[in-house]
Every structure is written in structure tokens, then in C-alpha cells.
């Protein structure tokens, strides 16, 4: 009789440990299945599993919202970098950096907001369009450099945001 509470406690511990270890070991089946249908499976899986909501997500709309939030976070850090560069760079970069700041304002104030609302309200077509527009804004930012021989200081950031937005658009497209 004395062993039953100990055995029950030990069994509960094993179950808790094994479920925690399984959750921490990698992407869930939902994440794997979803990310296989995106243009960058590795980026998708690593982004979704890095977010604490990812491994516990029970549906594709939740994964879409997580990815949209990742776009927002990366776009926010890029806009902060743009503002920092505006204070420190050559005057020849002022115009392209102003252009980039305006582009990232659109991403953050319009595209991300529209995409989140579209997913929440069940209108994924608008969410996909908004995430596709993020890519256009990144291209326009990058294209603003080089007119006077300047090299873009934002190539990596633009590529990162674009990559996340492409994955987000693909996940939202699954909701159509």
C-alpha cells in the first residue's frame, strides 16, 4: 500500500517529463505539415518553434498570427535601425533612408494590422495580400539605394523581413 502513492508520483513525473521533452524536442506535427507548404521550411519551423505559442498552437490560424507577429517584430527592429542610420550616415543616404522609413511605416501601420485582422476575422485573402505587400515594401526600400552609387546598409534586414513575410503569406494562403 505504501508503494502506490510513490509509484503514482513517479508515473506522473515520467509522464510530465516525457511530454515536456517531446514539446521541447522540435516542431510539432502541425508546424511540420504547415511549414512544408511554405517557400522556406527551415525559416518557418525555426520561427514557429522559437515562439512560446508555436509548439502549443492547435490550428493554422494561430501559426499564421505567430508568423505575422514575427514579421512585425523584425520590421520594428529594421525601422529602429533605419532611424539609427539616419543620424549617423552620409547625406547621400538620407533620401533612401527616408524612403525606407516610410516603407516600414506602411508595413507596421497597415500591412501587419490588416493581416492580423484578416486572419482573426476569417478573411485570409486580405491577409495574404498584406503579407505580399510587405515584400514589395522591402524591395522598394532596397531599390532606393544605388541611384547615386550608394550601397544599401539594409540588405540583410530587408531580406529577413521579406523572407518572414513570404512564409507568413504562404501560411495565410492555406486558410483560403
94 pLDDT above the threshold of 50: yes
112 closest CA partner among 93, 129, 131: 131
CA atoms of 82 and 57, how far apart (whole Å): 33
2 pLDDT above the threshold of 70: no
Q: Is residue 64 a contact partner of residue 168, using CB atoms and an 8 Å limit?
A: yes
Residue 27: per-residue pLDDT: 80
The single residue listed with the C-alpha cell 516525457 is 18
99 in helix, strand or coil?
A: helix
CATH topology of domain 27-173: Butyryl-CoA Dehydrogenase, subunit A; domain 3 (1.20.140)
Q: Which helix (H) or strand (E) holds 148?
A: none
Greater pLDDT, 89 or 132: 132
139 pLDDT above the threshold of 90: yes
Average pLDDT estimate for 108-116: 99
65 pLDDT above the threshold of 80: yes
pLDDT cut 90: percent of the chain above it = 80
132 closest CA partner among 159, 158, 153, 107: 107
114 pLDDT above the threshold of 90: yes
Amino acid at each position: 500500500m505504501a508503494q502506490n502513492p510513490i509509484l503514482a508520483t513517479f508515473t506522473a513525473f515520467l509522464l510530465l517529463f516525457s511530454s515536456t521533452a517531446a514539446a521541447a524536442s522540435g516542431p510539432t506535427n502541425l508546424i511540420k505539415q504547415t511549414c512544408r507548404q511554405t517557400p522556406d521550411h527551415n525559416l518557418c519551423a525555426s520561427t514557429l518553434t522559437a515562439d512560446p505559442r508555436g509548439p502549443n498552437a492547435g490550428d493554422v490560424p494561430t501559426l499564421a498570427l505567430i508568423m505575422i507577429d514575427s514579421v512585425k517584430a523584425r520590421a520594428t527592429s529594421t525601422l529602429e535601425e533605419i532611424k539609427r542610420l539616419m543620424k549617423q550616415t552620409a547625406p547621400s543616404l538620407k533620401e533612401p533612408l527616408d524612403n525606407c522609413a516610410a516603407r516600414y511605416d506602411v508595413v507596421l501601420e497597415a500591412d501587419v494590422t490588416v493581416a492580423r485582422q484578416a486572419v482573426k476575422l476569417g478573411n485570409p485573402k486580405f491577409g495574404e495580400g498584406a503579407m505580399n505587400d510587405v515584400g514589395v515594401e522591402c524591395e522598394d526600400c532596397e531599390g532606393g539605394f544605388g541611384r547615386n552609387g550608394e550601397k544599401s546598409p539594409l540588405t540583410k534586414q530587408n531580406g529577413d523581413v521579406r523572407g518572414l513575410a513570404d512564409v507568413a503569406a504562404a501560411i495565410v494562403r492555406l486558410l483560403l
